[in-house]
Amino acid sequence: MNARSLLITAGILGGTAVVFGAFGAHALKEALDPDSLNSFNTAVRYQMWHALALLALAASPVKIKQLKNIARLWLFGVLLFSGSIYLLSIDELMNVNLSFLGPITPLGGLALIVAWIMLIVSALKIKE
């Protein structure tokens, strides 16, 4: 991934996080129980934080060999983690049982954690 693709990806993740956040705050506020709404908002927060992390990675003057892998894992993690939580939060509204997505959420979280660890290890290898 180059800076351009990182910026585009960060923009898409950030923009959709704002849309989903507004959707949750307005359209879902009365439709979901408090626990489901809280879960939905957690997914929004994680998505936005990782959009900002991708933005910072794109703007960083430091060249990190693992940049592509870190960015891909963050994107993959957000899609699995936040995506599964979005769907699990609104499955009752859609009148569909999506409980089979439950095990996907921690896999997304694991991908996010591994990417952060990769960033730390890569940073430790930088010669100043």
Side-chain-side CA neighbours of 60 within 13 Å: the count stands at: 17
- Give the rounded distance of the alpha carbon of 27 from its chain centre: 21
pLDDT in tens, 81-91: 999 999 999 99
pLDDT in tens, 58-71: 988 777 778 999 99
Q: Is the pLDDT of residue 33 over 80?
A: yes
pLDDT for 97 beyond 80: yes
Which structure tokens are listed for 114?
């591994």
Rounded CA gap, 25 and 17, in Å?
A: 12
**Predicted confidence (pLDDT) per residue in 1-15, tens digit:** 788 999 999 999 999
